[in-house]
Amino acid sequence: MRKIIFLDRDGVINNNNLYYIYRKEDVVFNPGVFETLKFLFSKGYEFIVISNQSGISKGIYSKSDVENVHEFMKSEFKKHGFDILEFYYCTHSPSVENCLCRKPETLLVEKAIARFQIDVSNSYFIGDQQRDVQTAINSGIKPILIDANSDLTNIINKII
């Protein structure tokens, strides 16, 4: 069974001051992201991103835009010596439609657990919003709430 660190994307991995990040040119990685995840990888953790991307439903950007950002992120992580297993994202906006995949709902986490045989008792969810915490709790995963765009090295002592 795999030990997973689930990560929210915007505000945890990258700076979300622009709110909608859908161009790789706008991706600014937060302090400590690469160092922290590489260290946790060395301790046997793997990584999955769970993200709400309501801009798709609102017509602000496309799935292709999101996929391009994710491919760019994957390549940057690979340069630092580790991979992201998968990026799961919800395309829906609560102002447009209801769904079961938008955080704090758990469908995306459930898909990841089934696909990757995850040990939820040894996994964490790092997020910058209360909905991330609620997703973790609803999924039986330990939540870690951080300030948006903060240095990720501060969470190491909460895991190791």
119 is catalytic: no
Lowest mean pLDDT among 2-16, 69-83, 94-108, 119-133: 94-108
> Residue 94: what pLDDT?
86
Comparison of pLDDT for 126 and 97, the residue scoring more: 126
Mean model confidence pLDDT for the chain:
96
CATH code: domain 3-159 is 3.40.50.1000
In what side-by-side order are the strands of the sheet with 142-145? 86-90, 45-52, 3-7, 124-127, 142-145
Mean pLDDT of 137-144: 98
> Residue 150: what pLDDT?
97
Identity of the residue numbered 3: K
For residues 97 and 79, what is the distance between their CA atoms, to the nearest angstrom?
Answer: 38
pLDDT digits (tens, 9 = 90+) for 58-91: 999 999 999 999 999 999 999 999 999 999 999 9
Mean pLDDT of 9-14: 98
> Does the structure show a pLDDT above 90 at 148?
yes
Among 8, 65, 128, 132, the active-site one is 8
Mean pLDDT of 147-156: 97
> Residue 27: what pLDDT?
98
pLDDT digits (tens, 9 = 90+) for 25-58: 999 999 999 999 999 999 999 999 999 999 999 9
Identity of the residue numbered 130: Q
65 is catalytic: no
Q: Among the residues of the chain, which ranges form H helices?
A: 33-42, 63-79, 107-116, 130-139, 156-159
Q: Where are the domains of the chain?
A: 3-159
> What's the Cα-to-Cα distance from 45 to each of 31, 37, 127, rounded to whole Å?
20, 8, 17
